Amino acid sequence: ENNIVVHVLENSTNTSVPIYTDSVVVDIQGMLMPTDNEERGTVFYTTFSGKDRNVSSDLRLTISAKGTLQKQEIDGLSTALQKMHIGDRWMVYVPYNLALKNQSSVSPFVPAYSTMIFDITLLGIKHT
């Protein structure tokens, strides 16, 4: 409950990692933990077109390495981003206490106390 869980989907040989004050360029899809009624969790944020995770919409997202997504800092996302190398693709499971806690302002699709899952590819780092 107090840790993120990471499943490495693609491991890069690049050695560059962002630090807390950097901005990062990512392909990202945020979804809720699936329930008994659904095979995949509800997607609340994505930079991908359609349902195919392998088709980018060319809408690369530049976010703070602090894990700020739509004005909400997500501690678990920050932790993951600062461990990723350029080219890595990770599936990151973030428990509610490292996500939005009881807030639901990222999207109307994110209920309070939700576990979030992020499919992230780190594409670049902008040092500040």
Which pLDDT tens digit goes with each residue over 12-69?
Answer: 999 999 988 888 888 889 999 888 877 778 888 888 765 555 544 444 556 666 665 6
CATH domain 5-126 topology = Chitinase A; domain 3 (3.10.50)
pLDDT of residue 51: 55
Name the pLDDT band for 113 (thresholds 50, 70, 90).
Answer: confident
Higher pLDDT, 34 or 85: 85
Average pLDDT of every residue of the chain: 80
Encoding tokens for residue 122?
């780190």
SS3 42: coil
Q: Are 90 and 8 contacting, i.e. CB atoms less than 8 angstroms apart?
A: yes
pLDDT at 75 over 60: yes
pLDDT at 100 over 80: no
**Domain residues of the chain, as ranges?**
5-126
C-alpha–C-alpha distance, residues 40 and 91, integer Å: 13
Higher pLDDT, 69 or 124: 124
Encoding tokens for residue 84?
């990723």
